[in-house]
Amino acid sequence: MREETDMQLTGSQIVIECLKEQGVDTVFGYPGGAILNIYDELYKHPEIRHILTSHEQGASHAADGYARATRKIGVCLATSGPGATNLVTGIATAYMDSVPIVAITANVGTSYLGKDSFQEVDITGITTPITKYSSIVKNVEDLADTIRRAFVIAKSGRPGPVLVDIPKDVTAAACDFTGKEPEQTAPDSHLDDRSLAKAVEMINAAKRPYLMVGGGAAISGAQKEVIELAHRIQAPVCDTLMGKGTFPGTDDQYMGMLGMHGTKGANLLISKCDLLIVLGARFSDRDVGSPKTFARQAKILQIDIDPAEVNKNVVVTASVSGDMKEVLDRILPEISEKSNPDWTDEMHAKQKLINDYVPEDRLSAQFVIRKIYEITEGKAIICTDVGQHQMWAAQYYKFTEPRTFLTSGGLGTMGYGLGAAIGAKCGRPDKTVINIAGDGCFRMNMNELATAVRSNIPVIEVVINNHVLGMVRQWQNLFYGQRYSSTVLNDKVDFVKVAEALGAEGVRITKTEEFGPALQKAIADQKPVVLDCIIDPDDKVSPMIPAGKPNDEIYDQKDMENWHK
């Protein structure tokens, strides 16, 4: 037990003590007037590493990347008003993907609240819909327990972001402070025996079981159990974008990703299985185009920690609410081994439909991503931005470990990746961390390259540069009569010079043979590097299920080439 201390501390000192109590070693943030007292304390506590980002959005994405990569809680700090609002996109990103972060903002003094004071904003009001809990602390006596509660709420149950707003006078006021051991959050162990028994019965009765693995399985740390279940019942396995890495992409039973840009095989099996076992996935519209026809021949068993997810997007046959690892630990002893040769044959036949098209005559995203996989032997942490490059990353890199694919799945936040990569590298310095960025996305938050350089965080930014907002342009090509409204980034921005101007290294890659050596050098150099990979603006992500269509209405590369003929 830590020795209890009872002493008078200021609000700012309490913030620092509470962070230390929680074992926080790194925070990401940006100072300003209202938060000056807290920054003054940080100055005196070098044991907490503060990473000064270029923009508060970068700080929130870095806290998120740190949390996703480490399974710890990410912390970001911002001042009042615009500092706080700049965090909002990162908080919403974390909320949509169930990432535990604690955002600490300072506000104007309590006597200035509600008066449109300089840099005053009601950040708790703004963030209430995108946090698990958001609160302003008006008395210094309440501060320590509010921060402690923030950490408990962020990581308990379905994780997510929490915001604590502290008026400036509260950061200066003093009160007694007594240190406490951090509260341990155990998974909710009130599992319902009847739903567990029903789950076992359904799994044991299935002839054509199919597993759909979502982000919840990784959050719960249930990789071993998921693999064991799949192997025991010889079920093919697909995953969602958020689920990547829990079930190894190299396994013989792996079908690839489900959904709009998933594999043909993964999507077609949805209509063939007789039991779909859904492990920590929320049936996003990107996975389920048409809820009515989804898994039309199957019973659906949904296991999720959040009861609110059950029957929300797709009506299921049965469900178990609880922590994934705990649920699987309880049911696995009762699950019998099974195999159905017809179903195994169908699985292997559908696996052959995987899209492994790589243009041979020129540099392409597909080539680059496959090369990243080969060179890093699948052991890197891959972050992405949002767009075509994100889908290609999901398709062409085989993920074998949870927490190695950091991507904004729910909110689809362009500009997420570089900040997330900085956070991930701070949390996992042992790993090669690569952000696969789009050229549009890179423009959004490229300023964080300066952060990586200043703080000596060797992240590798691979820009898939098609000179267009490719994903939006792909939709314009297919569904809007090739009217490319505002998606062609015709300008003179030179990413190599941008990289150099921000203190990083930049290399332009135009030929396939240049990429491998450049990546190997970047990994060896241990410095922030931008690899600007020039690809064709017309390359498309395939296969594709048009929005709202059933999972078996899936078009491949050839179909898309002939779309306008």
Ligand X SMILES: Cc1ncc(C[n+]2csc(CCOP(=O)(O)OP(=O)(O)O)c2C)c(N)n1
Catalytic residues: 56, 118-119, 168, 471
Handedness of CA 476, 478, 481, 482 (dihedral sign): positive
The CB-of-433 to ligand X minimum distance in angstroms stands at 19
One of 56, 326, 439, 461 touching Mg ion (CB under 5 A): 439
In the shown chain, the binding pattern of residues 494 to 513 toward Mg ion, with x for contact by CB under 5 A and - for none, equals --------------------
Binding region for Mg ion (CB under 5 A) out of 31-39, 96-104, 394-402, 458-466: 458-466
For residues 500 and 527, give the distance between their C-alpha atoms in angstroms, rounded to a whole number. Answer: 12
Based on the shown chain and the rule CB under 6 A, indicate whether residue 506 belongs to the binding site for ligand X. Answer: no
Name which position in 127, 451, 466, 477 contacts Mg ion (CB under 5 A).
Answer: 466
Give the one entry of ligand X, Mg ion, none that residue 11 binds, where binding means its C-beta sits below a cut-off of 5 to 8 angstroms depending on kind: none
412 binds ligand X (CB under 6 A): yes
414 binding partner (options Mg ion, ligand X, none; Cβ < 5 to 8 Å by kind): ligand X
Q: Does 415 bind Mg ion (CB under 5 A)?
A: no
**Separation between Cα atoms, residue 539 and residue 474, nearest integer Å:** 9
Q: Which of 439, 461, 505, 539 binds ligand X (CB under 6 A)?
A: 439
**Cα separation, 550 vs 548, whole angstroms:** 7
The only residue of 53, 60, 86, 413 in contact with ligand X, by rule CB under 6 A = 413
Of 215, 245, 458, 470, the residue at the interface with Mg ion (CB under 5 A) is 470
Residue showing the smallest CB distance to ligand X in the complex: 438
Q: Is 171 an interacting residue with respect to ligand X (CB under 6 A)?
A: no
Q: Which of 258, 328, 381, 468 touches ligand X (CB under 6 A)?
A: 468
Q: Which of 37, 388, 395, 447 binds ligand X (CB under 6 A)?
A: 388
* Per-residue DSSP letter, 239: E
Residue 203, SS3 per DSSP: helix
Residue 373 CB, shortest distance to ligand X, in Å, is 18
Q: What minimum distance in Å lies between the beta carbon of 377 and Mg ion?
A: 27
Rounded CA-CA distance 5/286 in Å is 52
Q: Does residue number 386 form part of the binding site for ligand X (CB under 6 A)?
A: yes
Amino acid residing at 507: V
Residue 331 Cα distances to 200, 202, 228, 338, 409, angstroms: 6, 11, 11, 15, 29
User: What residues numbered 239-278 form the site for Mg ion, per CB under 5 A?
Assistant: none
Task: Please report, to the nearest 10 degrees, the dihedral formed by the alpha carbons of residues 499, 500, 503, 504 taken in order.
Answer: 50
**What whole-number distance in Å separates Cα of residue 179 and Cα of residue 202?**
49
Alpha-carbon dihedral sign for residues 228, 233, 237, 243: negative
472 binds, among Mg ion, ligand X, none (CB under 5 to 8 A by kind): ligand X
Tokens found for residue 264: 């043909």
The reply to whether 440 sits near ligand X by the rule CB under 6 A is: yes
Q: Which is nearer to Mg ion, 440 or 543 (CB)?
A: 440
Q: Kindly tell me the burial class for residue 556, based on how many C-beta atoms sit within 10 Å of its own C-beta (0-12, 13-18, 19 or more).
A: middle
CB of 393 to Mg ion, least distance (A): 13
- In what helix (H) or strand (E) does residue 52 lie, and over which residues does it extend? strand 49-52
Strands 318-321 and 49-52: unpaired
Q: Which residues have C-beta within 8 Å of that of residue 519, sequence separation ≥ 6?
A: 371, 372, 375, 460, 462, 531
> Among the candidate windows 162-170, 243-251, 318-326, 387-395, which touches ligand X by CB under 6 A?
387-395
- Name the minimum Å distance from CB 441 to Mg ion: 8
CB of 368 to ligand X, least distance (A): 12
> Contact region for ligand X (CB under 6 A) — 11-19, 94-102, 149-157, 436-444?
436-444
Taking the least distance from each CB to Mg ion, the nearer of 154 and 365 is 365
11-21 helix and 36-43 helix, angle to the nearest 10 degrees: 50
Q: With CB under 6 A, what is the number of residues at the site for ligand X?
A: 19
| SS (HEC) of 405-466 | EECCCCCCCCCCHHHHHHHHHHHCCCCCEEEEEEHHHHHHHCCHHHHHHHCCCCCEEEEEEC
Rule CB under 5 A: say whether 100 interacts with Mg ion.
no
Q: Between helices 324-331 and 223-232, what is the axis angle to 10°? A: 40
Residues in touch with Mg ion (CB under 5 A): 438-440, 466, 470
Residues in touch with ligand X (CB under 6 A): 385-389, 412-414, 438-441, 464, 466, 468-472
